[in-house]
Structure 1
Amino acid sequence: MKGYRISLIRHGITEANEKGIYIGSTDLPLSPKGAGELAAKLDEFDYPTVHRVYTSPLKRCVETSDILFPETETVLVDDLREADLGEFENKSVTELAAREDYQAWLHGGKDTRPPGGESLEEMTARCYKAIHGIIMDMMHSGLTHTAVITHGGIISNLLTGFGLPKYDPKYLTAKPGEGFDIIVTAQMWLNSQAFEILGYCPYDRITDEDDL
């Protein structure tokens, strides 16, 4: 049965990431350091050759796509954007630690939301909508390997919610410019809304010396 492979890759870092500030839906570009780290990864690792790139519309993801896949068609998918953190946006953990609503959000359930923000339950619903649309587009277009450039929270949500086998979430955290490969068949997705987690992306580069 035909399999459809997707490389889920987290964007490079921003200045807010460097400072430990929550930016969720705030639209910041890559920092010079973030762009430089992505360029260095291109030199060190092998990224997949893909037929299409689906990306969050936020600048840090679009810019990551431009660096990692400069010659590949890019499609913006609004539901791939990071969680809306409401009043917690652009604040550090230190600034928020004493707030009761912040502690309630940290220790709350799936329906708990930051003031003016989005709950985990709502984010999961749009993550499903996003990945379902991507998988359907791949099937209809005959694309066997694509990339998704999105955010750490979105990748973790997709892997823990729909990925098999089930792993401890702490092992499903994507580093900047890195992520995970998944594969799905039409039957697996349409019957079970699940995909298989294959491993890490990008890939260790095989040199001539490795073949000796």
Structure 2
Amino acid sequence: MKGYRISILRHGMTEANEKGVYIGSTDLPLSNKGAADLAAKMDEFDYPTVHRVYTSPLKRCTETADILFPYTEVVPVDDLRELDFGDFENKSIDELAKREDYNKWLRGGKDNRPPNGESLEEMTARCYKALHAIIMDMMESGLTHCAVITHGGIISNMLSCFGLPKYDPKTLSCDFGMGFELMVTAQMWLNSQAFEILGYCPYEKLDEADDEY
């Protein structure tokens, strides 16, 4: 049965990431450090050759796509955007630590949302819609390997909810410009809404001595 491979990667760093500030719907570009870090990773790692790149519409993701896949078609997918943190946007953990609404949100379940923000349940529904649209588009277009560039929270949510085998969500975090390799078939997705987690992506480059060996 035909398999479809997806390389799902986290965007590069922004100034808010450097400062430890919550940004979800806030549309910040990559920082100079974030762009330089991605360029350095391209020297250190082998990023896959893909047929198409699906991205969150936010600048930090589309700019990451331009750096990592400069000659590949980029298709923004609105449902790949990060969780909307509402009133917690652009605030640090230190700023929020004493707020009762923040601590309530941290203790809450999937239907608990930040004030004027989005719940985990709502984000999960978006993740499913995004995955379904991407997988159906790949199948209809005959694309066997594509990349997805999105946000750390989206990646851990997708993998913990729809990935096999099942992992603790805390183990599914990834650094900027890094991510996971997935494999899905039509039967897996349409019957079980699931995909297989193959491992980490990208792969570290072998040095010349390793190649010769």
Deviation >3 Å, runs of 4+ = none
SS of the equivalent of 1:6 reads strand
* Residue deviations 1:5-34 (CA, integer Å, cap 9, x gap): 000000000000000000111000000000
Equivalence for 2:122: 122
AA aligned to 1:7 is S
Equivalence for 2:146: 146
User: 2 CA distance for matches of 1:203 and 1:99?
Assistant: 42
SS of the equivalent of 1:147 reads strand
Equivalence for 2:23: 23
Deviates more, 1:107-116 or 1:164-173: 164-173
AA aligned to 1:43 is D
TM-score in terms of structure 2 length: 0.98
AA aligned to 1:173 is S
SS of the equivalent of 1:200 reads strand
Equivalence for 1:190: 190
* Residue deviations 1:54-112 (CA, integer Å, cap 9, x gap): 00000000000000000000000000000000000000001100111100110100000
User: 1 CA distance for matches of 2:160 and 2:194?
Assistant: 10
Equivalence for 1:83: 83
Equivalence for 1:55: 55
AA aligned to 2:78 is D
User: 2 CA distance for matches of 1:205 and 1:43?
Assistant: 8
Shift, 1:143, TM fit: 0.2
Equivalence for 2:156: 156
RMSD over aligned Cα atoms? 0.6
Equivalence for 1:109: 109
Segments of structure 1 that go 5 or more residues without pairing to the other structure are none
User: 2 CA distance for matches of 1:188 and 1:62?
Assistant: 29
Contact 2:80 2:150 in 1 (8 A): yes
Identity of aligned residues (%): 78
Equivalence for 2:44: 44
User: 1 CA distance for matches of 2:130 and 2:41?
Assistant: 27
Shift, 1:53, TM fit: 0.1
User: 1 CA distance for matches of 2:207 and 2:165?
Assistant: 31
Shift, 1:204, TM fit: 1.3
TM-score in terms of structure 1 length: 0.99
Segments of structure 2 that go 5 or more residues without pairing to the other structure are none
User: 1 CA distance for matches of 2:170 and 2:126?
Assistant: 22
Contact 2:157 2:169 in 1 (8 A): no
1:98 to 2:92 alignment: no
User: 1 CA distance for matches of 2:33 and 2:67?
Assistant: 13
AA aligned to 2:72 is T
Equivalence for 1:14: 14
Shift, 1:206, TM fit: 2.3
Shift, 1:207, TM fit: 3.0
Shift, 1:205, TM fit: 1.0
